[in-house]
Structure 1
């Protein structure tokens, strides 16, 4: 808004002009001093007991306020009517803009809190009531210091803004214990000094609730997707070699995926041949360590005890007879920045267990015969087919080492408890064997059924070795029960199903499944009993019963 030009006039008590400022004097073309003021204007009309004067000169209108400020002087202060009209128009526009600003502040979802430079509250809006539970009128004309003393505010963003002379933000709990984001912004005057502070108060509880709900929805969506994939029976492969199709195995590999880039020690448990080394290699391949270091495997049960220490920790030059004069790095040094896989950790002698524990704790090794230590960065994965807890109780394995290794335990189930993977394993093993030896061997339905029913004490390794053995030792392209080694033929103690030789391997497995279920429902009456007996989930039993249209005894449905 432009500045107002005030017109000033001073007269004696008998209304004769004593002085006049230039803004008013410029409107007169003749001398005004000592002249009666009323005679100078074409019109001079007094109102409100002579306090308000409306006058005119040469069609120019004036409005004056009259006041006697001294015993012998009267002062007139005025403006022209045109300027007054202009100012009234500007004032109306300012009032309109102010109403809009009031509406914006009042209807803001966030709380608005305005204080002066002394921290006295000038204005708030209704949102402050919703966020804090305190009426907005309560804040008006109160200093933020008093609000802090009363526990209404935890700390003041206003003080920080006045101190730093810039925008300040922080999160705090409000009077109701709700998380709020406060952002204070300074308002500067023409001299660059902070004259007021405008604080925006945002309630984060609703936003946090929405984020939590969204995260839960995403998690639920992922779980639905996993369940759909499981129900569809989609085959999954790790590196094109290892099948991960069983529900338990999916959970195991999901767990492994989550811990690939942490430094915690992993202890893989399971019978011989279940794929402990494959899981260890998977953790390495999926981790950042693959780019920085090697995967080193040590079978603690395959290396003579007198050599195991030097193999693990290396040796200094001349440490023993026959040792290289330059010394030799051990497996820990070779695995620096990578992963060291200690297979069959239960076979490690007690004296070496002490040294291994020190390496885990100190993250440094000392070569055999050496006098200095060396820092190492190695992710340790151990595996065993033995019960380490029992070995601890028997004094055959150190308890402190056991707990150091058992940070992330992963137990891999035996093949007999994940028979739903046998079909896929046969498929991929047979494909690799045929490619390796340039053959085109196939299994007939009865042999496939045997593979499904067999209990596999040697697990996946036994399955792979047996397949390779019968492929190499038999010239027939179509392999059947007769081609099994003698020790396996004694296991053929179930009636074979008559199946056409053209039936696919998948169909053979399905026929075997159907036969097992038909015999099981003769003995068990609920899906939970069936699931427990057949080492699978109740959901899998329900799905299979529906698939083969098998009805439980005494029920009209297969549920």
Structure 2
């Protein structure tokens, strides 16, 4: 009875036979394998159609009703009986195949772990290291074999680890991440993930160790490359298809190209800009160009105020606004000033040299603290405004005379840009003429053209009023000239003297006098265009001493003030 119970516990087909080969006992797996062809007292060999015993080992190959079996023979202690344990070869093949698949999966898993760029560190739930990969050597500088069998607490005590996520993962039963420096000072991201068994308990912890120093270097390099790429892109945008016009602005002379290139570069820099130059040179056009090409144009407005065109007693309320009841006649709701209206945008302070000293103090506070206070108000208001100022006056001389605050001057003079007068950039004159002529023709629905001799006059005239004077004169000529071709004789009377100088004498003169007049005209143009007598001599294809002599003859001085010989 005891023998039957023992055999029944065997998880494979099993049978006990005596020395004569008769069946003494068997389990239900053996009976089901032979489909009822098993009984006590029968010959086991007779129950099979085929029975072969190996000569070198106690292994029996048997077959019954198309099923093949493999039995292993073993004695039972204290008896002459024999225990045979076997299985169908189909099941054995399945086990062999399953074992092969398991080995393949294990090999693939080992390859994946070993070839991971990140360190892989596997422990059991107690913290004992079970497996790791070669990447751990790159990150820590310690051979991977050293870790096997070591407890994480021991590694922490040795200073190899600063802390471990394993106990945190086991306790919290979830993925845990932390950033720490390893013993070599490298910043690492450590992420531990639990592996649960069938009962739902944490069986192992798989820790991924990523060297952030490499990633940080790559990110820094990528950021550097992106910035460089943005820089090159902006420069390419500036150079690509660079024409004489930038959004309707005529830029043909080298000096103006440099000015507008500078403007494009500082468009997104929030530093204060001070634009200097004579009246009518286009300071407001440059200021608007800076705003239009900046990120502020997407969020804020371009607000312009002429500090010299508004009475001093009204200028403060226009700039800073006022609260209700601030003064008699004030709006009941109060009124925001130009600074508030320009929040997130640009405030263009034209003719800043005309700003009264009292308001210079308030403007200085705005530049220093980025806040304003309305007239009659009690609380300051934070603002985000970029200041662009412009003037035709010499602020430095005004500072010396006490008419302009020195501290405000240096606050404004962060990015100074000087726009030369039109007579110093004559390459812009003819393109400007075409622009203004087109605008006037479109405005008055005309199709006037300008005679070449008149263009010569325009090119040599000194234009004390600069762009504004040129624009107004073109519009005036388009309206007043009765014919489609505008000629020299159509010029207003105030230009007649200059006209005679350029077009030539009104009466017959000697060839020598005419030659001298033409020579003087060419030299005047050269003086304005070139920096010294050497450049002038090269351009006019003569010697430098000749240029010096001619300048002395016509009482002309070159730009750098070289003396006459």
Question: Shared fold by TM > 0.5?
Answer: yes
**Counterpart residue number, 1:384:** 390
Contact 1:268–1:410 (Cα < 8 Å) also in 2: yes
CA offset digits 1:238-273 (Å, max 9, x no partner): 2x3x235543233234235435xxxx4633322133
Deviation of 1:429 after TM superposition, in Å, equals 1.5
The 5 A counterparts of 1:330-369 are 331-332=337-338, 335=341, 337=343, 339-359=346-366, 361=369, 363-367=371-375
Deviation of 1:342 after TM superposition, in Å, equals 2.3
**Alpha-carbon distance between aligned partners in 1 of 2:78 and 2:534, rounded to the nearest angstrom:** 118
Residue of 270, 275, 290 corresponding to 1:269:
275
The 5 A counterparts of 1:217-366 are 219-220=231-232, 223-224=235-236, 226-230=238-242, 234-238=243-247, 240=248, 242-244=249-251, 246-255=256-265, 257-259=267-269, 264=270, 266-271=272-277, 272-285=279-292, 295-315=302-322, 323-324=329-330, 326=332, 329=335, 331-332=337-338, 335=341, 337=343, 339-359=346-366, 361=369, 363-366=371-374
Contact 2:457–2:503 (Cα < 8 Å) also in 1: no
Contact 1:364–1:374 (Cα < 8 Å) also in 2: yes
**Alpha-carbon distance between aligned partners in 2 of 1:252 and 1:60, rounded to the nearest angstrom:** 93
Report the CA distance shift for 1:94/1:332 in structure 2 as closer, same or farther (over 3 A).
same
Residue of 411, 415, 428 corresponding to 2:417:
411
**Alpha-carbon distance between aligned partners in 1 of 2:464 and 2:157, rounded to the nearest angstrom:** 74
Deviation of 1:90 after TM superposition, in Å, equals 1.8
**Alpha-carbon distance between aligned partners in 2 of 1:488 and 1:176, rounded to the nearest angstrom:** 86
CA offset digits 1:171-209 (Å, max 9, x no partner): 777788777776655443333444231527475356765
- Number of aligned positions between the proteins: 493
**Counterpart residue number, 1:467:** 474
Contact 2:129–2:147 (Cα < 8 Å) also in 1: yes
> TM-score of the superposition, structure 2-length normalised?
0.66
Deviation of 1:355 after TM superposition, in Å, equals 2.8
Contact 1:252–1:412 (Cα < 8 Å) also in 2: no
Q: Secondary structure at the match of 1:383?
A: strand
Deviation of 1:470 after TM superposition, in Å, equals 4.8
Deviation of 1:86 after TM superposition, in Å, equals 2.0
Contact 1:267–1:381 (Cα < 8 Å) also in 2: yes
Given the alignment of the two structures, is residue 88 of structure 1 paired with residue 96 of structure 2, yes or no? yes
**Counterpart residue number, 1:197:** 206
Tell me whether 170-179 or 301-310 shows the greater mean CA deviation.
170-179
Q: Secondary structure at the match of 2:431?
A: helix
Q: Secondary structure at the match of 1:467?
A: helix
Q: Secondary structure at the match of 1:414?
A: coil
The 5 A counterparts of 1:35-184 are 54=60, 56=62, 58=64, 60-64=68-72, 66=74, 79-107=87-115, 110-111=117-118, 113-118=120-125, 119-126=127-134, 135-142=143-150, 165-166=173-174
**Alpha-carbon distance between aligned partners in 1 of 2:183 and 2:379, rounded to the nearest angstrom:** 57
**Alpha-carbon distance between aligned partners in 1 of 2:132 and 2:293, rounded to the nearest angstrom:** 55
Report the CA distance shift for 1:415/1:123 in structure 2 as closer, same or farther (over 3 A).
farther
Tell me whether 73-82 or 415-424 shows the greater mean CA deviation.
73-82
CA offset digits 1:18-57 (Å, max 9, x no partner): 9754324545755559x99999999696999x8x654647
**Alpha-carbon distance between aligned partners in 2 of 1:142 and 1:481, rounded to the nearest angstrom:** 104
Deviation of 1:87 after TM superposition, in Å, equals 0.7
Tell me whether 385-394 or 87-96 shows the greater mean CA deviation.
385-394
Deviation of 1:446 after TM superposition, in Å, equals 4.3
Deviation of 1:348 after TM superposition, in Å, equals 1.8
Deviation of 1:465 after TM superposition, in Å, equals 3.3
Structure 1 unaligned spans of 5+ = 497-511, 531-559
Q: Secondary structure at the match of 2:534?
A: coil
Contact 1:332–1:378 (Cα < 8 Å) also in 2: no
Q: Secondary structure at the match of 1:199?
A: strand
Tell me whether 219-228 or 111-120 shows the greater mean CA deviation.
219-228
Structure 2 unaligned spans of 5+ = 1-9, 505-521, 540-565
Deviation of 1:229 after TM superposition, in Å, equals 3.3
> TM-score of the superposition, structure 1-length normalised?
0.66
